[in-house]
Structure 1
Amino acid sequence: MAQLTTAQSEAAAQVYAALDVAGGRTRLVGGCVRDALLGHPCADLDLATQLLPDQVIARIAAAGLKAVPTGLAHGTVTVVAARRPFEVTTLREDVATNGRHATVAFTQDWARDAMRRDFTINALSANPLTGPL
């Protein structure tokens, strides 16, 4: 689906396998989906997942990849595969907001997560193995 370099594809395949992309628990989100739909190369891959941050970290470690807890309070883990970063964020919804600052709760609901994203393009998601949803 996404136009990736060979090195990106190999690293992405490792991340996809670890995070159950085939089972539908993790999707590409935002700009990389837009770029793929336009036929442009993807500069970076951001992913959203139904997995909780501790599950992401455990799966990534089990796959022999590096997990960096960059924003656990908001569900974000940076995964490093072949020296390439992938930002992985657990699906979430806003519980309370104060300007751009939000208290979030994790969810399993793709629609709820999409509704809280700040730009329409960021609400796009796609399974990298099968295409846009």
Structure 2
Amino acid sequence: MPSARGRSAMLYRRARSGLFLIALFWGWMLLGAADFIAALFGSPVYAALAVLALGALTLVSLLFLPICLAYLVLNRPRVPGQAGGTASRSRDAHRARLAPVVRMAPPRGTARGTARGAAPAAPAAPAAPAKRRDLAS
């Protein structure tokens, strides 16, 4: 079970994806659905099924639009610098819940061979962007 913060980020991403799909559907409805239905008029059964399906999808999209907006607003991700020192405490708490083997690895921010609170002998080079951990997921 993900933590409350991880669950919140997951719900935010799902709502954002849902809004994207709804916008994509409505864009297609406004720009290309008429050609799609006109192409099906060779068979009245296919045309009727297409009209029914598009009507049902329109109602479903209208139902999910306010739900996605509510999830998007209620599960906004936090700004990293907003909470002050809680980010480091949260990171330490997360590290404490890891398996013992993973906890043994030194954090990426400290140089090897130095204590956690002590300053390193030489300033460490900044990590390459590809090696940074994605904290959003």
TM-score w.r.t. length of structure 2: 0.17
Bigger RCO of structures 1 and 2 (CA < 8 A, at least 6 apart): 2
Q: Where is the strand percentage greater, Structure 1 or Structure 2?
A: 1
Higher CA-based Rg: 2
Q: Where is the helix percentage greater, Structure 1 or Structure 2?
A: 2
TM-score w.r.t. length of structure 1: 0.17
